[in-house]
Structure 1
Amino acid sequence: MTLLSITPLDAGAIPGDDEIISAAETLLESVTTWKQGKKYHSGTVQTYSRAKGPDDGAPWHARLSVHKPEEATLDAMWEKLGKNKAVNEKEFIHDINKVALVKEISPTQQIWTLYYTFSPPIISPRTFTVVQITRYTAATESSPRQGIIVSLPVDLSGQPDLAKMEEKGTRGRYASVERLLELPDGTTEWRMATSSTPGGSIPSFFVEKSLDGKIADDVPHFMNWFHSLLKEDN
């Protein structure tokens, strides 16, 4: 079984950061070799996809965008995506109704539960519980600054005290890996890949056909929210 998949990890046996981050970096580097999909938002967001493999629970979808410093710096983006990610996502992903920190395993590894509600008649509420792992790396002579965020599904059934923090709803699962990379010209590349299942009886083709557009939309949703915060500060 591959480490990066929608197969949930046991909450009591989550691998260490190094193993998870290494797998994430390998997957992220492969994204541009996947099938190239549509460009969205005036060509600023490129999408990719990879068919379900023997070790995958579902296909993978990815997006790539590049942002000038005047739009958002790496540090500013990391502050909102690499810290309290679930809390901040609730502010710009409107389907997220509630989030809760289930357990802080370490400063770089926390378990979160996210409760999604959708407008009828699409689907009933979904609960996603994930462990999120983050790593920020300073620039060196051989590599630029970068931040990586990994979210992997977690099974809390073996720990009743933690499981009671999950909202009631159909259980969905997703895995995602993201990288913010500072390029030589000072811009920031935002690369993200995800594999998911909403659970329940929704046909997989229904989800897959809309996923590229949905993950592409997260880029302007984030940027609009981020810039609204800057206006409030001013």
Structure 2
Amino acid sequence: MSDYKLTITPIKPDEIPPEETILALGQEVLESTSTWKQGKSYHNHTVKTLSRPKGPGDGASWHCRLSEHKPEDATFDEFWSKVGVNKAENEMKFIGDIKKVTLIKQISPTMSIWSMYYHLPPPISARTFTVLQVTHLYEASPRSGIIVSIPVDVTHDPELAKLEEKAVKGRYVAAERFRELENGNVEWIVATSSTPGGMIPQFITDKSMPSKISDDVPHFLHWFHTVRDSPTNTN
């Protein structure tokens, strides 16, 4: 799998590349966003978007969002505790379309396969996205943490397949990073490529992606501030 690249083309569980390969590819994609085309800014210009067209080996075009956050939004530790840890379960709490998440397989403490079931507004059918999530926290100052998600096809493994929610299968690949900045703020960046599957034309997905991924920022912050000072907020 040395020639593996981040793409929406799913891989089988027995084809998963080494963790360090996946992380390196994620960092490579994130660094490349500095050359992507600048798009609209959202939420009072606090969330910037970028994109690049579909290239060789890509299944779809790529989109990126970038935001910077003061400690009153969330500290680095707070961001990481809610997105770098228990990512799928926490996303279900602030992304309204996600109705169920299932741990398909825990490969290691930092590598796991998750299935996420999305219930979308009619007439769009429900979707299931099954991905491998790889997380790594870089403790050297300035600290950073990265999460890379790649699509996985579990249909050939009956034991894993029975855990996957039945719905139209979508695919997405993503690299996400939190990084401490010199001014004490935290940079949050996500680069992703996706297809919803089914009969939805890809150009419609591409057109809506910048605003959709940008919405995740205020959705997260709103949810986080409802649990920030809660006695049960132990993560």
Q: 1: CA distance between counterparts of 2:197 and 2:32?
A: 27
Which residue, 78, 103, 106 being the options, matches 2:105?
103
Would the aligned equivalents of 1:114 and 1:129 in 2 still touch at CA under 8 Å? Answer: yes
Measure how far apart 1:206 and its partner are.
Answer: 1.2
Which residue, 153, 177, 197 being the options, matches 2:195?
197
Report the equivalent of 2:88: 86
Report the equivalent of 2:125: 124
Measure how far apart 1:185 and its partner are.
Answer: 1.2
Measure how far apart 1:232 and its partner are.
Answer: 3.5
Give the TM-score normalised by the residue count of structure 2.
0.95
Report the equivalent of 2:185: 187
Q: Which runs of 5+ in 2 are unaligned?
A: none
State the number of aligned residues: 230
Measure how far apart 1:2 and its partner are.
Answer: 4.5
Q: 2: CA distance between counterparts of 1:124 and 1:213?
A: 21
Which residue, 145, 152, 155 being the options, matches 2:143?
145
Secondary structure at the aligned position of 1:58 is classed as: coil
Q: 2: CA distance between counterparts of 1:120 and 1:148?
A: 34
Consecutive aligned runs of 4 or more in structure 1 exceeding 6 Å deviation: none
Would the aligned equivalents of 1:2 and 1:56 in 2 still touch at CA under 8 Å? Answer: no
Q: Does 1:31 align with 2:33?
A: yes
Secondary structure at the aligned position of 2:225 is classed as: helix
Percent of pairs identical after alignment?
A: 56
Measure how far apart 1:33 and its partner are.
Answer: 1.1
Report the equivalent of 1:223: 221
Q: 1: CA distance between counterparts of 2:72 and 2:17?
A: 38
Q: 1: CA distance between counterparts of 2:203 and 2:35?
A: 23
Report the equivalent of 2:163: 165
Q: 2: CA distance between counterparts of 1:98 and 1:105?
A: 21
Give the TM-score normalised by the residue count of structure 1.
0.96
Q: Considering only aligned residues, what root-mean-square deviation do their CA atoms show, in Å?
A: 1.2
Q: 1: CA distance between counterparts of 2:121 and 2:156?
A: 32
